DNA sequence: CAGCATCCTACCTGATACTG
DNA sequence: CAGTATCAGGTAGGATGCTG
């Protein structure tokens, strides 16, 4: 059987809010990655995405569903979310974006820090 | 000498606001593409980006500068914006994202339409 | 279990007008 | 030319509490 999603799945990596490359809304990319290896239930998704309120997670899922990237199926007594072929095809550009982010993450943070420091000094003067 | 940027550069393609894949803020990807072939001045950028107010374009440029993707240089009597190496490296994931969007654009629009129609019927009932 | 309802805040984006 | 100042609207995201 498929493994449950680890609760700390996104603790380290993917500070997607800081990444200039974004897929859909704030959590969409993480949701897609959660569905990479097969369908998941709402409550399963909530484990790694435990910092997302149910309302916001629902919004994200609805948006993905609207774009045809995710399919929502009522499989009584549960509801399952799974990637459509189009949704799955998004993994490729996501992987490229992730590779870019990993390669340039430090430069990016350094640039931001320098910029902010320079700016702070400017205002102090 | 470098060609001026065509005013209709973004009239047809890249409805980036609808694209689920986004690079930075609303206009960042277009700015980067404008700088692809060399430095540009603010007023040059305003030609293809004529629907962006100067304030918003400035914001976008500042944000790109902060992330170290664009360098702003005062080359009296002008100001020039150009891609840094990191900024240039972003062209690759952008190209991949563009390819994805082109390939799946129609599916995406169809999915949205079906979804919205189904939803409208639901509410009518 | 899988959400919805309400309320609220912050940010993004833009229109318009003005300036060193 | 290359912006800044001000004001305003809309939307995204979230806190909290409730429900079939």
Contacts of A24 in chain B (CB under 8 A): 20
Report the C-alpha gap between B72 and A38 in whole angstroms. Answer: 46
Domain boundaries A15-124, CATH class: mainly alpha
**B33-CA/D4-C1' distance, Å:** 26
Q: Tell me the pLDDT of chain B (125 aa) as tens digits.
A: 578 888 888 876 554 556 789 999 999 999 999 999 999 999 999 999 999 999 999 999 999 999 999 999 999 889 999 999 999 999 999 999 999 998 999 999 999 999 999 887 666 55
User: Confidence class of residue A14 from pLDDT cuts 50, 70 and 90?
Assistant: low
Q: Please give, rounded to a whole number of angstroms, the shortest distance from the CA of A110 to a CA of chain B.
A: 8
For residue B112, what pLDDT is reported?
Answer: 92
Give mean pLDDT, residues A66-91. 96
Chain C: positions less than 7 Å from a protein CB are 1-6, 12-17
What's the pLDDT tens digit per position in A85-103? 999 999 999 999 999 998 9
pTM: 0.91
Q: Is the dihedral of CA A47, A53, A54, A58 positive or negative?
A: negative
Q: Is B90 on the interface with A (CB under 8 A)?
A: yes
Give mean pLDDT, residues A48-76. 95
**DSSP three-state, residue B77:** coil
- Buried/exposed B99-123: b ≥16 CB within 10 Å, e otherwise: ebbeebeebbeebeeebeeeeeeee
**Nucleotide lying nearest to A22, CA to C1' measure:** D12
Contacts of A17 in chain B (CB under 8 A): none
């Amino acid at each position: 059987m498929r493994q449950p999603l680890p609760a700390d799945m996104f603790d380290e990596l993917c500070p997607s809010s800081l990444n200039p490359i974004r897929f859909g809304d704030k959590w969409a990319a993480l949701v897609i990655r959660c569905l990479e290896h097969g369908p998941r239930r709402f409550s399963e998704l909530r484990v790694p995405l435990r910092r997302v309120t149910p309302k916001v997670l629902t919004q994200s899922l609805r948006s993905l569903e609207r774009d045809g990237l995710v399919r929502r199926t009522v499989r009584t007594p549960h509801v399952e979310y799974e990637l459509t072929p189009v949704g799955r095809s998004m993994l490729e550009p996501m992987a490229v974006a992730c590779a870019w982010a990993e390669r340039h993450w430090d430069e990016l943070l350094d640039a931001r820090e320098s910029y902010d420091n320079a700016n702070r000094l400017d205002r102090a003067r």
